[in-house]
Amino acid sequence: MAEPLDDYIDAVAGALGLPIEDAWKPSVRANLAVTLKMAKMVDEFPLPDETEPASIYAA
Amino acid sequence: MQLDPVVTPHIFQPNGAWRPASEIAQAVAAKKISALAVTEAALARIAEHDPVLNAFTDVTADRARATAKALDAAIASGQSVGPLAGVPFAVKNLFDVTGLPTRAGSRINRDRPASTRDATLVERMEAAGAILVGALNMGEYAYDFTGENFHDGPSRNPHDVTRMTGGSSGGSGGAVGGSLVPLALGSDTNGSIRVPSSFCGIFGLKPTYGRLSRARSFPFVASFDHLGPFARSVEDLALSYDAMQGPDAEDAACSTRAIEPVTALLGQDIGSLRIAAAGGYFRKNLFPEAQEAVARVTKALGVTRDFELPEVARARSAAYVISTVEGASLHLDRLRTRPNDFDPAVRDRLLAGAMVPAPLVDRAQKFRRWYRAKVLELFKEVDVIIAPATPCIAPKLGQATFVLDGVELPVRANIGIHTQPISFIGLPVVAVPVPLDPMPIGVQIIAAPWREDIALRVAYALERAGVVAAPSAKGF
């Protein structure tokens, strides 16, 4: 059975032109699953609409 | 080589460790020893011990001797020299060094042309009289907490060569911990100065984000990349930090603040400082050694209360997300064209980072702004926060998991859990070594932005009280 993230990985790899060999896929998938879990934790935190990102740039 | 018995006492202590940089520099300036003799002592140490420690990837012996001779000639002609006159140092191999390709721990970067100019911090260290003797091993592209390099082999911990140095500035930790050199420079994105300092039992300074120029160093995560020094004493840390401060238009993130020297302030009384221990998140996932180290430091400082930082686990998660995405962006072309030339583990992390949807990264950067504001509020009530540097002493080389509170956890992913939420918002930290036996372990002394002076003063007081010290590694 295909892993749930595999179609997404294939689609993004295609869009970005990233070669991903089948042998690497379990490791990429595992890393992506951890990252998305971390990102979800941040995503769930309510922030005011006015919140500025903290990226650094000064004109 | 056999060192001259007359000059040796000016360079090394009876236990074999380096004398303080300030003492070496004074002896060189006073012509008690030559800079060349000190340089030869460092080169001899490296030749003797680096085959085991694997801290160095390049030894710049010819350059070092030439620099030392020029310094000796300047002293002989009566010129004044800097506060680090004749003091050897080495840099993580992501710093540009003239004549070397900046490999940043990778195989791919070895194909880059040789650098034509040193990194700003190398130039500033040498302007203060220090002498570069080489470039140091590191985890590939700094995406590492272990100090194990896929291409160059692992750097080894001088206190137990079967253990990790920590990473990603592993060679920096091993070189100073093993007394190959008295000073080294490294980088810290999520903990890469503080982790090797902890595992190798030395002092490390991760300054405020934007304090020290990153010009002509190979990046990893632009949002979090910091450079800083490692040393065997707080004064040496402060001396090198002072030598490297100052604006630099060639690093877009480098502050325009004037130099704020700290060395002369180290001995100031710390009695009026409000010091608290980080509670909650920072009290969890700790081995007994880490608990003991924090307890010794807090007891010595008379700390009676824990202080809760808000949403720390989320901060660590946001740092993780931003790191993997900015790292992936940096390496996107190399991932397309040379994926087989990466350490496979690094490659697969970066490939995953390239796949994170953009809104999640933007939200992580917005959370960072929120978290920064909340933590800065807390600094109205405290001046210093004490926290563990690592959850454990140095793990064994190749160790993949450890068991904590009955739960098996991956080593690599958990080494930096206490450092990541701090560098996430660029706070200055001094990592101080608690000399537990048989392995040392570090504690973070954290201050408000731009208050490196406070963190260093607390570290100095702890050092003078004998609570923290860089232990001499047996056999090195």
Domains and CATH numbers, chain B: 8-308+371-464 (3.90.1300.10)
| Residues 6+ positions from A21 with CB-CB distance below 8 Å | none
A32 in any annotated domain: yes
The verdict on whether B284 is a catalytic residue reads no
Q: A18, B336: Cβ pair inside 8 Å?
A: yes
**Number of Cα atoms under 13 Å in the Cβ half of residue B8:** 11
A46 in any annotated domain: no
Cα A50 from chain centre: 24
Q: For tokens 């040496």, what's the residue?
A: B236
Residues of chain B with C-beta less than 8 angstroms from the C-beta of A50: none
User: Where does residue B463 fall: left (phi above 0), alpha (psi -120 to 50 degrees), or beta otherwise?
Assistant: alpha
A49 in any annotated domain: no
Domain that holds residue A19: 6-41
Residues of chain A with C-beta less than 8 angstroms from the C-beta of B336: 16-19
Alpha carbon separation from A42 to B317, B356, B413 (Å, rounded)? 7, 13, 18
Q: Is some CB atom of chain A closer than 8 A to the CB atom of B409?
A: no
* B462 backbone dihedrals φ, ψ, rounded to 5°: -65, -40
Residues 218-237, chain B, touching A (beta carbon < 8 A): 222-223
Q: A9, B370: Cβ pair inside 8 Å?
A: no
Best probe of the B interface among A3, A9, A24, A38, by most B CBs < 10 A, is A38
Q: Is some CB atom of chain B closer than 8 A to the CB atom of A4?
A: no
Task: State the pTM of this model.
Answer: 0.97
A56 in any annotated domain: no
How many independent structural domains does chain A possess? Answer: 1
Residue of A nearest to B318 (CA): A42
pLDDT at site B7: 81
Q: A53, B356: Cβ pair inside 8 Å?
A: no
What letters, b where the CB count within 10 A reaches 16 and e where it falls short, cover A30-56? Answer: ebbebbbebbebbbebeeeeeeebbee
A55 in any annotated domain: no
Q: Which residue has the higher pLDDT, A55 or B462?
A: B462
476 residues of chain B, pLDDT tens digit each: 556 777 889 999 998 999 999 999 999 999 999 999 999 999 999 999 999 999 999 999 999 999 999 999 999 999 999 999 999 999 999 999 999 999 999 999 999 999 999 999 999 999 999 999 999 999 999 999 999 999 999 999 999 999 999 999 999 999 999 999 999 999 999 999 999 999 999 999 999 999 999 999 999 999 999 999 999 999 999 999 999 999 999 999 999 999 999 999 999 999 999 999 999 999 999 999 999 999 999 999 999 989 899 999 999 999 999 999 999 999 999 999 999 999 999 999 999 999 999 999 999 999 999 999 999 999 999 999 999 999 999 999 999 999 887 889 899 989 999 999 999 999 999 999 999 999 999 999 999 999 999 999 999 999 999 999 999 998 88
**From CA B418, how far away is CA B284, in angstroms rounded?**
10
Each residue of A1-21: pLDDT tens digit? 567 899 999 999 999 999 999
Q: Are B174 and B204 in contact (CB under 8 A)?
A: no
A52 in any annotated domain: no
Residues of chain A with C-beta less than 8 angstroms from the C-beta of B361: 39
Best probe of the A interface among B326, B343, B355, B420, by most A CBs < 10 A, is B355
ipTM of the complex: 0.95
Candidates B321, B348, B366; nearest CB to A53: B366
A17 in any annotated domain: yes
Candidates B352, B356, B367; nearest CB to A28: B352
The verdict on whether B198 is a catalytic residue reads no
Residues of chain A with C-beta less than 8 angstroms from the C-beta of B349: 31
**From CA B235, how far away is CA B24, in angstroms rounded?**
13
The verdict on whether B92 is a catalytic residue reads yes
Question: Nearest to residue B282, comparing CAs of B271, B268, B297, B270?
Answer: B297
A–B interface: beta-carbon pairs under 8 A: 106
A33 in any annotated domain: yes
Residue of A nearest to B371 (CA): A54
**B351: distance to nearest CA of chain A, Å?**
6
Candidates A8, A31, A43; nearest CB to B363: A43
Question: Of the listed B187, B192, B423, B472, which one is catalytic?
Answer: B192
Residues of chain A with C-beta less than 8 angstroms from the C-beta of B370: 45, 47, 51
Q: Is some CB atom of chain B closer than 8 A to the CB atom of A55?
A: yes
Q: Is some CB atom of chain A closer than 8 A to the CB atom of B376?
A: no
Best probe of the B interface among A34, A42, A45, by most B CBs < 10 A, is A42
Residue A17: exposure state from Cβ atoms within 10 A (0-12, 13-18, ≥19) = exposed
* B381 backbone dihedrals φ, ψ, rounded to 5°: -105, -25
Three-state SS at B117: coil
